[in-house]
Structure 1
Amino acid sequence: MKKHLRLYTMILTVAASVTACHKISVTPNSMITADQFPQTDEQYQSVIGTIYTNLRGHYPLTFWFTQELTSDEAILPAYGGNWYDGSGYIDLHRHTWTKDHGWIGTAWSDVYSIIGLCNQTIYTFRTAPEGDTKNAAMAEIKTLRAWAYWELLDMFGNVPLDTIYPSPGVQAKADRAQVFNFVESELKAALPLLKTATGSATYGKVTRWMAQGLLAKLYLNAPVYAGTTKYNECIAACDDIIASGKFAIEARGTYLTMFYPNNGPSFKENIFAIPFDPTTSNGYLFHGRYDLNRNLGIKYRYSGATPGSHTLSSIIMNQTSGSGLVNTKPSGPRATLSGFYNAYFTDANDIRKDQWLVGTQYWPDGNPIKVATTKKGYDQFYTGSDGSTSYIYDLYIDSVIRLRQSVASMDLGNDEIAWNMGIRNVKFFPDANSASRNQNNDAPLLRYSDVLLMKAEAILRGGNATNGQTALSLVNMVRNNRTTSPAWTAVTLDDLYAERGREFTWECWRRNDMIRFGKYESTYGFKTNSDSYRRIFPIPTRALATNNKLTQNPGY
């Protein structure tokens, strides 16, 4: 979306490669003297916007792949060599990555670039006029830096704490508990200074509620991060958000629209979201490109696809042409695993089941979508003499993924059977008005339903129930707005784990949840690796090469 988040760079010219592994000696330049600018909130935001821009660029690919493809929720196989890409996606699924893995290296560089930019911006503001506006801006930047360090804490464990600009030089790793304490202290210090308003004015920006949500997430994972329990602290952070009265669970009838292209500040469930806009030049949301079946471009109006003057049910995909028809094809390599879907989406009354595409696909009038190919094009292993004969079939998305071409390369083959394997997710519904692959959907990082389920989990794990709310009542607050099936009468941690799987599909929380619930080493899909050291990623080779004080994480 949108016009709610205007990101400018009025002062800073920042190198994209700023990381904690490099000594930084750049002097910021400005045509306005430091003791005069910034003074207003608008002026501060014009500078801080660059940090949000970097976060937006980091989220939809690098962060998504490392959090989702390493879980049982998503898979990106190869199709006759297409999307093999040096086994990068396959290694994430199979938990066979090394210190040279491309996406893991990019994750490290991305996050330290955000940290370096935060440090540089704090330095730029050091001589700005003192006052509440400056204090709020500094708290906002430090919260963004805390988010970045939370990512590093979660993904890499022990990492350098580099908070000084200009940098004194490369830093050794701090242990995970130290990084945990740093993130906690930064967030707690920022809380009284952050904005509390919600709506258009602060949409997509750091607020007190975003910081409390991150604190709750930090405390809930404290046994993993710091070897301690902080469940009552998690509950207190959740309670502050709940007591604010500024958020609400979206009703069942509008749950899915909360993720559609016209989402934004009107939805009361989003605590912190990243706005995306097809007109921007940094940070693209490509879910339609990755998730839509190749033959569904016209139905979902993907990237300018249109039926023109044709009646939809008269179109035969790959055959019908003319009269304004534009058959733009998504790439369509990404899917979910049938084990995940079959375990969690059995309730026909649950609106969250409607985010999936599986089985025969239909036009809105109920007629099946037909696809034209050849017998050989449909099945590359077809050996009949009439392989080039025209063949028309009803589009069917198979829930089972089979490695028909190569087990080693996790390759399904390069035919219609292969491309139609794997249940597809359309939670982030493509934008029918976009002529590019970039989408207009905003991506939530923290939602109110997460706050309620985090509090429920903290109570189940031993925290004290507060304000008359129990783990069961909190879970039912969410479920009552998702399904018309009867409310639960009891809840266990396994129940809650499953509910989180239903609620936050495709929102980058599955890896975090699997580790906390002890499920990350399980066998799923084509993964058999059970190495527990893979709960954290390796320090990338390029980081080791530029910082001789770094040591590799155990197991790598």
Structure 2
Amino acid sequence: MKNKLTHKVIYILGTVLILVGCTNDLDIEVNDPNAFLVDDFYATPESYKQGLAGVYGNLALTGANGPGDSNISGLDAGTSQYGRAFWNLQELTTDEVKWSWENDGGLRGLNRNTWTADNVVIRGFYGRCMTQVAFVNEYLRQTTNDKLNSRGVSDNTRAEVQTFRAEARFLRALAYYHLMDLFGKAGFVTENDPVGAYQSPQYNRAELFAFVESEINTILPELADPLQNEYARVDKAAAWMLLAKIYLNAEVFIGENKYDECLTYCNNIIASGYILSPVYANNFNADNHSNSARNEIIFPIVSDGVVTQNYGPTTVMVNAQVGSIEQNGADFGVAGWAGGLRVTKQFSETMLNGTYDTDDRNTILSDDRTIEMTDMYDYGTGYVTAKWSNKTSTGANGSATEIVDTDFPMFRLADVYLMYAEAVVRGGSGGTLSTAKDYINLLRSRANNPFMVTENDVDLDLILNERMVELYGEAHRRQDLIRFGKYTGGSYNWSWKGSVVSGIAIGNFRKVFPLPKASVAANPNLTQNTGY
């Protein structure tokens, strides 16, 4: 069992869906808050935590009736699950991995960097983020002082509710951060706006950046100290991580250098008690919620083969990394999907360049395969990897054979070490090159890599490679390539970039995704991104 909060999520998500109504796939906002007698739901002190569980549940679950159900009308569960859609946008559009079955909705356009505003995965993620905003807004409306007063809530419960509200506000800030990163703009609505106000104003990147920064700083005092909250709930370290992320990418987001600020929050996290798991693979096993990775993973999206069932990123990766030739699903505790994912030639060359050949993070399987995917529909071309597993750290199988128990580590400490190193190299104060070198070597040593780096080795090229090797498949790569100036244009091409086997230049407008056409049509305040 992961914890009581996690295992209540399915029931509570169903309740929250009733509380806020169904969502509309055009502008994605709640419809009828009176569909359920909310005062009946909030009749007990325990209900406030249960309501919060429903808000967390939106990260993992798509509806109240199992993993195949979606509460966003017009979209299925596969294209509207938060973690899976996020992963698709951040990974399939890069030099790391490609999805073999291009007839699946929206994935051919992502594989080949040819997406349009009609792409269902893009629409699904925008919709899921706005659904998260709607859930948080309604939770905040139901937990104001006036509401608590009217229900006679005790002082002890009120203190807990303040923490719950801060966690909910973090989840809303996280959604707006993802919208800022991926779309560069979004409709903006808070709990202070009327329910059902579909024509929300548009916030640009600078406005979203300012909101996320202010919101996180405001709620920080109310959050639990690092490692003092229940697993999979937000603590101060998760909030510091979100601040560090926006500051690391501030030159992309708002055209300002904020590496000093990034280092401040990286240092806070590093000093907070989180530690590296001594075994790299434990971060990606079925018991990563309870093995040594528990103190490395700062914030996950939960998955459970029986209770919090979802076709999210880890279920996809564990099953789809099973190759069409290898048929080794039993090695990972699943039946496997036989060829869904393959890695690019450029990824394989990085892993096999001599530096990482014996590194534990190099899980490439290459026997009887060609390094290049010369034909996207020939599943025997392109190498495959074996990073993710539905087996525990002791070798036991997960609780089910398709939907996995493995949680998705959205934030973990290893990323913080690499963020620190990058911010130092980019000129940030508050860190040293010597310490940056030490952090990189900690990651290499943990992975049994025999090649340690010196201060002279630590430059941006090294860091970009280290981020790929350490974090591949964890939904960082698109953001990284953009920050390093290697995503658009033709200075760096990878397999199938621009829909050509060897890769070609793509336009700068693809640094952001289009707003879904349906959302723009529904809200006259939204303007489409240039190029779409």
Do residues 509 (structure 1) and 527 (structure 2) align? no
Q: What's 1:341 paired with?
A: 348
Amino acid of the residue matched to residue 348 of structure 2?
A: Y
Matches for 1:52-131 after TM superposition, within 5 Å: 52-57=56-61, 58-78=81-101, 83-85=102-104, 88-126=106-144, 127-128=147-148, 129=153, 131=158
Q: Are 2:51 and 1:47 aligned? A: yes
Percent of pairs with identical residues:
30
Q: Is the 8 A contact 2:303 2:408 kept in 1?
A: yes
* Residue among 160, 163, 188 paired with 1:133: 160
- Which ranges in structure 2 are unaligned for 5 or more consecutive residues? 62-80, 392-396, 498-503
CA deviation after TM superposition for structure 1 residue 204, in Å: 0.9
The answer for the alignment partner of 2:517 in structure 1 is 541
Deviation at 1:424, TM superposition (A): 1.5
Q: Which residue matches 1:554?
A: 530
Structure 1: any 5+ residue segments left out of the alignment? 305-327, 360-395, 404-410, 413-417
Are residue 153 (structure 1) and residue 180 (structure 2) matched?
Answer: yes
Deviation string for 1:331-357 (max 9, x for gaps)? Answer: 42211102112124432331101x222
Q: Hey, what does 2:501 align to over in structure 1?
A: none
1:26 deviates by 2.1
One-letter amino acid of the structure 2 residue matched with residue 181 of structure 1:
A
Secondary structure at the aligned position of 1:273 is classed as strand
How far apart, CA to CA, are the structure 2 residues paired with 1:23 and 1:260? Answer: 36
User: Which string of whole-angstrom CA distances, capped at 9 and with x for unpartnered residues, describes residues 307-353 of structure 1?
Assistant: xxxxxxxxxxxxxxxxxxxxx55242211102112124432331101
TM alignment of 1:131-210, pairs within 5 A: 131-164=158-191, 165-167=193-195, 168-198=197-227, 202-210=230-238
Amino acid paired to 2:233:
K
Alignment match, 1:367: none
Distance change >3 Å, CA 302–CA 21, structure 1 → 2 = closer
1:176-229 deviation digits (Å, cap 9, x = unpaired): 101000001111111111011527x52111111111111100110011111111
The equivalences for 1:268-279 within 5 A come to 268-279=295-306
Which of 471, 493, 512 aligns to 1:523? It is 493
Structure 1 residues 546 and 458: CA distance shift in structure 2, 3 A? same
Between the two proteins, the alignment pairs up a number of residues equal to 472
Residues 281 and 453 (structure 1 numbering): CA distance in 2 closer, same or farther, change over 3 Å? closer
Cα separation, 1, equivalents of 2:269 and 2:35:
37
SS in 1 for 2:298: strand
Deviations 1:339-387 (A, max 9, x none): 112124432331101x22221xxxxxxxxxxxxxxxxxxxxxxxxxxxx
| TM-score (normalizing by structure 2) | 0.83
Preserved CA contact (<8 Å) 1:150 1:183 = yes
Structure 2 CA distance for aligned equivalents of residues 9 and 272 of structure 1: 21
Is residue 293 of structure 1 aligned with residue 293 of structure 2? Answer: no
Q: Is the contact made by 1:72 and 1:524 (CA closer than 8 Å) also made in structure 2?
A: yes
Paired with 2:166 and 2:400, the residues of 1 have a C-alpha distance of 39
Secondary structure in 1 matching 2:496: coil
Larger Rg: 1
Residue by residue over 1:284-303, the C-alpha shift from the partner in whole angstroms, topping out at 9 and shown as x without a partner, is 32223221113544562567
Q: Which residue of 1 aligns with 2:403?
A: 438
Query: In the TM superposition, what is the alpha-carbon distance from 1:470 to its structure 2 partner?
Result: 3.2
Note if 1:356 corresponds to 2:323: no
Question: Matched residues in 2 for 1:31 and 1:531: separation?
Answer: 49
Cα gap change, 1:265 to 1:119, in 2 (>3 Å): same
AA paired with 1:9?
I
Match of 2:12 among 6, 9, 12: 9
SS at match of 1:204: coil
Match of 1:419 among 358, 379, 400: 379
Q: Do 1:460 and 1:492's aligned partners in 2 also have CA atoms closer than 8 Å?
A: yes
Normalised to the residue count of structure 1, the TM-score between the two structures is: 0.79
Which stretch of the first structure deviates more once superposed, 59-68 or 225-234? 59-68
Equivalent-residue separation in structure 1 for 2:213 and 2:469 (angstroms): 29
The reply to whether residue 465 of structure 1 matches residue 430 of structure 2 is yes
SS at match of 1:75: strand
More helix by share: 2
Say if 1:143 and 1:211, in contact at 8 Å, map to a contact too: yes
Q: Report the CA distance between 1:434 and its aligned residue.
A: 4.8
Supply the AA of the counterpart residue of 1:291: Q
Does structure 1 conserve the Cα–Cα contact (< 8 Å) formed by 2:321 and 2:341?
yes
Q: Aligned residue for 2:256?
A: 228
Separation of aligned partners in 2, 1:288 and 1:23: 34
